[in-house]
């Protein structure tokens, strides 16, 4: 797994670097936002970017926005010392998949990375699959409810009215036009499309998409739903496909667009 690490404090960067390498990850480091964007362009592709928020020049938020625009399939985790609700939501709205609040333990960071990577990779086979299965068996923080599609599923697609979800390349199409989704957004859409007409609570979505032992706010679900609606709905302010079930969660409208 290739990681782009953006952190301006050497002590923290060294701490993260050591733990990433202990987990057999290839790490490329940057101490400012401009360098991180340049490295993404010159030395990519990277699987996941770890972005500190507070930086001396451009912020981690600006780097997140730039990377998400250029590399929609890249996983992005924000590293933030800020506890304010609006900062977390802002990062998620810009396209981050997750955030980890400082100070964090190596175990928590690795669990978040592995959970995100699982959402990004639809299938591996042979020795690689065996290694991943072994990792997942001991890492209880990684959700197994939305396991990677089997080889048979790889050749399948899911259709719901005007939408077509493909498993092999993890894409979503509306009226035969691709809707570009982040890895987390695709997994969330898959969850709802596979359960048309069924109410799915925020707690269940959090467990299925982010992992059973995810330590975070339920608002991460709402922000991602809002982002998805902006991409797939004809009118995001009056959603027809992803319905809100007040006091519970969300559901895929079985009849809309049929």
pLDDT of residue 257: 56
Tell me which residue of 25, 126, 128, 129 sits closest to 77, measured CA to CA: 25
Cβ atoms of 258 and 242 within 8 Å: the answer is no
Instruction: Using the predicted structure, report yes or no on whether residue 189 has a pLDDT greater than 60.
Output: yes
The Cα 71–Cα 73 span in angstroms is 6
pLDDT of residue 122: 56
In the block, residue with structure tokens 């209880």 = 140
Indicate the CATH number of 2-120 among 2.40.50.140, 3.40.50.2300, 3.30.40.230, 1.10.3680.10. Answer: 3.40.50.2300
Mean pLDDT of the chain: 83
Report CA-CA distances (Å) from 54 to 6, 51, 69: 10, 9, 20
pLDDT of residue 178: 94
Instruction: Using the predicted structure, report yes or no on whether residue 85 has a pLDDT greater than 90.
Output: no
CATH number of the domain located at residue range(s) 151-252 in this protein:
1.10.10.10
**What does the domain layout of the chain look like in residue ranges?**
2-120, 151-252
91 pLDDT tier (thresholds 50, 70, 90) = confident
Strands 171-174 and 163-166: antiparallel
212 pLDDT tier (thresholds 50, 70, 90) = confident
pLDDT tens per residue, range 102-156: 888 888 899 889 888 887 775 333 333 333 333 333 333 333 345 444 444 445 8
Cβ atoms of 252 and 193 within 8 Å: the answer is yes
Instruction: Using the predicted structure, report yes or no on whether residue 64 has a pLDDT greater than 90.
Output: yes
Please tell me whether residue 95 adopts helix, strand or coil conformation.
Answer: coil
Integer-rounded Cα Rg, in Å, for the chain is: 18
CA trace torsion 95, 101, 107, 112 (10° rounding):
-10
Spatial CB neighbours of 183, under 8 Å, sequence gap ≥ 6: 73, 75, 97, 116, 119, 120, 170
| pTM of the predicted protein model | 0.73
Let me know the angle formed at the C-alpha of 31 by 89 and 100, rounded to the nearest 5 degrees: 30
The Cα 228–Cα 222 span in angstroms is 10
229 pLDDT tier (thresholds 50, 70, 90) = very high
Phi-psi region of 75 (alpha: psi -120 to 50; beta: other; left: phi over 0): beta
């Amino acid at each position: 797994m290739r990681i782009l690490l953006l952190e301006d404090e050497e002590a923290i960067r060294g701490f993260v670097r050591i733990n990433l390498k202990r987990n057999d990850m290839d790490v490329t480091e940057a101490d400012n936002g401009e360098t991180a964007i340049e490295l993404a362009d010159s030395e990519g592709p990277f699987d996941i970017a770890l972005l500190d928020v507070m930086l001396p020049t451009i912020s981690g938020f600006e780097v997140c926005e730039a990377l998400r625009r250029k590399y929609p399939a890249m996983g992005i985790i924000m590293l933030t010392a800020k506890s304010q609700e609006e900062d977390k939501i802002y990062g998620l709205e810009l396209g981050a998949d997750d955030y980890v609040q400082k100070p964090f333990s190596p175990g928590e960071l690795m669990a978040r990375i592995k959970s995100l990577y699982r959402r990004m990779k639809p299938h591996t086979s042979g020795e690689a699959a065996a290694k991943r299965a072994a990792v997942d068996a001991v890492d209880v923080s990684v959700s197994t409810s939305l396991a990677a599609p089997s080889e048979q599923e790889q050749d399948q697609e899911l259709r719901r009215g005007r939408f077509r979800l493909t498993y092999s390349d993890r894409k979503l199409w509306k009226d035969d036009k691709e809707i570009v989704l982040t890895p987390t957004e695709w997994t969330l859409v898959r969850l709802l499309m596979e359960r048309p007409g069924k109410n799915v609570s925020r707690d269940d979505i959090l467990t299925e998409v982010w992992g059973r032992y995810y330590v975070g706010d339920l608002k991460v679900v709402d922000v991602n739903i809002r982002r998805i609606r902006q991409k797939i709905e004809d009118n995001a302010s009056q959603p027809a496909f992803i319905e809100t079930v007040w006091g519970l969660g969300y559901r895929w409208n079985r009849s809309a667009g049929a």
